[in-house]
Amino acid sequence: MGLSVLYSRARVGIQAPAVTVEVHAGVGLPSLSIVGLPELAVRESKDRVRGALANSRFDFPAGRVTINLAPADLPKEGGRFDLPIALGILGASGQIQAEPLTRHEFLGELALSGELRPVDAVLPAALAARDVGRALILPRLNAAEAALVSGLEIFPADCLLDVCEHLNGLSRLTAYQHVDSVEAPPTTLDLAEVRGQPQAKRALEIAAAGAHSFLLLGPPGTGKSMLAARLPGILPALTEAEAVEVATVHSVSRQASGIPLAWRQRPFRSPHHTASAIALVGGGANPRPGEISLAHHGVLFLDELPEFDRRVLEVLREPLESGQILISRAARSAELPARFQLIAAMNPCPCGYLGDPSGRCRCTQEQVSRYRARLSGPLLDRIDLHVEVPRLAAEQLHSAEPTTAESSAIVKQRVEAARALAMARAGKPNSALQPREVERDCALSNDGRRLMEQAMQRLALSARAYHRILKVARTIADLADRREMTIADLSEAIGYRKLDREAPQAPSLPPMSARRGRA
């Protein structure tokens, strides 16, 4: 009988704090107790561990067994501590060597047969284990995810008996190889498939080059959703550091099954307009990522934007500025990354046909105003580009444009070149520039200052909108490989603030008496 000490990892947000598993096997009446703020699934592990040890032909200590999960004030949840608890009992009772335990970290849920079952949030634990220089032993089904971390020794196992033989030196587990270069699969959605809409395509390219937020405004069926879905195809590939951040968020959210296949691919999230605020920003008793965090370093597409609950949309305001979200609960809080690129689409009025040449819209001014008022001014102020997507004529739909239109691959080359200029200049996309960096990188000439002063007065622009116009103009200049911004760049950037330029115009209706007469 004795004491054994080994290491595991808990989960708090996207962090994996260390947990020291201390097991003492002593004399006394037979009992097993777990202390250290275990939740229900952890308290139930005593029964899983007892069955796994028996079916793996190990002896369960006959005396009093006490298991301490330290630190005591950190909540422990899930079945991830089954494997370290079982090994701690075997180490304390002298059935395996205790010395190798301190050189490893352990994760894994146990079946009653002794088989190892996968757990969630493995990638944060793998990153933390690498940082402290320990090897990681975990279920085989989690190995591909953990192998995304370079510089970490990983030993996947199928059952408890395999782990014990490895620790006793009887049979070594085979180390899993690090995933070096898993590129993003090529997208099948090509920008050349979108007919017409040259202004919207140009704005989409600018949005991709500068990571700007983007609002598409137009009647139904004009290609708004098609354009948004093709944005990931022209975005630069994720760097390895960004890919690890994205994979970490998905690992914590229990959506890790496809992580190795989607490595270096920017996420594209498109929640339905019935989504709640918690679904969007994340939450729960133990906070988990929402859609804005799952879109980290990728695209969040909100179709039919005014149909979202206004309170749901308002929660986007702070993450759009800060790139992160702090979820606070009574028991704990978690800070989650949320540097996403917002793409939204909406109709110009309730029926969707305001301003359409067909004249089919019969919405009143009050109806249009009420529809537009579902979007608050502060939220619209944070969207860099507002672009109209008009209805196409029949001859444009029958044209042979897709054979001559630019493909996503060609546009992506220009986007990557412009993004490289921004990264070399400031180390970040233009949309993320801070006020001092805007003053430094978006300096205006005398003519440029006069133009912006006129725009501020005529459009009643806020200081935030002023800075966002400068950032967009900086991106336009980068696409043209110009060091200095020109009047043309500023004018084009101002032109993309459609909702600042135009108040909603409802079609005029004849008097009610005249309409009765026609009827």
Taking the domains of the chain in order of start, what are their residue ranges?
3-167, 191-501
- DSSP-derived secondary structure for 77-115: -SSTTHHHHHHHHHHHTTSS-SGGGGGEEE--EE-TTSB
Say how far apart CA 430 and CA 354 lie, in whole Å.
33
Residue 180 scores a pLDDT above 70: no
* DSSP designation for 192: G
Predicted pLDDT at 391: 87
What distance in Å separates the CA atoms of residue 369 and residue 248, rounded to the nearest whole number?
42
Query: Residue 149 pLDDT more than 80?
Result: yes
Only one residue has tokens 């033989």, namely 165
Report which of residues 68 and 252 the model is more confident about: 68
**Around Cβ 363, how many Cβ atoms within 10 Å?**
21
Task: State whether the Cα torsion 200-203-209-213 is positive or negative.
Answer: negative
pLDDT over 90 at 436, yes or no: yes
Rounded-to-integer distance, Cα 402 and Cα 193, Å: 6
Residue 500 reports pLDDT greater than 80: no
458 pLDDT exceeds 70?
Answer: yes
Q: How many CA atoms lie within 13 A of 284 on its CB side?
A: 11
Could you give the CA distance from residue 25 to residue 204 in angstroms, rounded to a whole number?
Answer: 65
What's the pTM value of the predicted model, to 2 decimals?
0.86
Residues 86-131 pLDDT 10s = 999 999 999 999 889 999 999 999 999 999 999 999 999 999 999 9
Give Cα separations from 490 to 458, 476, 493 (angstroms): 15, 9, 5
Query: Which is higher by pLDDT, 408 or 397?
Result: 408
Reply yes or no on whether the pLDDT at 255 is more than 70.
no
| pLDDT-based confidence at residue 181 (cuts at 50, 70, 90) | low
pLDDT tops 70 at residue 519: no
Q: Within 10 Å of residue 376's Cβ, how many Cβ atoms?
A: 13
State yes or no: pLDDT of 225 exceeds 50. Answer: yes
- Determine how β-strand 341-346 pairs with β-strand 299-302: parallel
- In this predicted structure, the answer to whether residue 506 has a pLDDT above a threshold of 80 is no
List of residues 6+ apart from 241 with CB closer than 8 A: none
The mean predicted confidence, pLDDT, of the chain is 89
Tokens of 269: 């999230």
User: With 0-12 CB in 10 A as exposed, 13-18 as middle and 19+ as buried, what is 417?
Assistant: middle
Q: Which residues contact 329 (CB under 8 A, 6 or more apart)?
A: 283, 285, 287
Pick the range with the lowest mean pLDDT from 75-89, 203-217, 392-406. 392-406
* Residue reference for tokens 């006069």: 450
- Distance between CA atoms of 479 and 477, rounded to whole angstroms? 5
pLDDT tens-digit readout, 37-54 = 899 999 999 999 999 999
How would you class 104 by CB atoms within 10 Å of its CB: exposed for 0-12, middle for 13-18, buried for 19 or more? buried
Tell me how far CA of residue 494 lies from CA of 14, 451, 454, 477, in angstroms. 39, 10, 11, 14
Rounded to 5°, angle at Cα 313 from 310 and 319: 150
Please answer whether residues 296 and 267 qualify as being in contact, where contact means their C-beta atoms are separated by less than 8 angstroms.
yes
Tell me, what amino acid is at 27?
V
The domain at 191-501 falls in which architecture? 3-Layer(aba) Sandwich (3.40)
Name residues whose C-beta falls within 8 Å of residue 454's C-beta, 6 or more positions apart in sequence.
none
DSSP symbol at 236: P
* pLDDT (0 to 100) of residue 356: 80
Averaged pLDDT for residues 244-270: 78
pLDDT of residue 511: 45
The pLDDT-based confidence of 187 (bands split at 50, 70, 90) is: low
3-class SS of residue 444: coil
Question: Starting from the edge strand earliest in sequence, which strands make up the sheet with 268-269, in order?
Answer: 268-269, 299-302, 341-346, 214-217, 385-388
pLDDT in tens, 379-407: 999 999 999 999 887 777 766 555 567 89
- The pLDDT value recorded for residue 518 is 42
One-letter-per-residue 3-state SS of 495-508: HCEHHHHCCCCCCC
Percent of the chain with pLDDT strictly greater than 70: 90
The CATH architecture assigned to 3-167 reads 2-Layer Sandwich (3.30)
- Mark 277-295 as b/e (b = at least 16 C-beta within 10 Å): beebbbbeebbbbbbbbbb
CB atoms within 10 A of CB 174: 10
**What tokens appear for 368 in the block?**
């249009």
Cβ atoms of 9 and 17 closer than 8 Å: yes
Q: Which residues pair with 21 in a beta bridge?
A: 6, 69
- In the numeric block, which tokens belong to residue 305? 């934007």
pLDDT at residue number 183: 59
Structure confidence by residue, pLDDT tens digits, 320-330 = 999 999 888 76
pLDDT at 510: 45
Return the bridge partners of 65, or none.
Answer: 25, 32
Strand 333-337 to 324-328 pairing: antiparallel
Q: What is the DSSP letter of 407?
A: P
Q: Does the pLDDT of residue 186 top 90, yes or no? A: no
Q: What is the pLDDT of residue 509?
A: 42
What integer pLDDT is reported at residue 332 of this predicted model? Answer: 75
Q: What is the pLDDT of residue 261?
A: 55
